[in-house]
Structure 1
């Protein structure tokens, strides 16, 4: 997969909040499901 510069930093900022953490978890679940397809 291609890594977009700055995306990791943006994600870590989102993780700071509880809502952001929930978003990241659901995003990772969706991403892994897509990868399995």
Structure 2
């Protein structure tokens, strides 16, 4: 149970980090989202 919840939080956190990194390194991709 703890492992599953922790894994889910980790995946969510990684997804958010990836999105932020993508927006930083590839602003063109996130341009439509961040004007």
Gaps of 5+ in 1: 1-15
When the two structures are aligned, how many residues end up with a matched partner?
22
CA RMSD of aligned residues (A): 1.3
Which one has the largest radius of gyration? 2
Normalising by the residue count of structure 1, what TM-score does the alignment of the two structures yield?
A: 0.54
5+ residue gaps in structure 2? 24-35
Higher relative contact order (CA 8 A, sep 6+): 1
TM value normalised by structure 2: 0.57
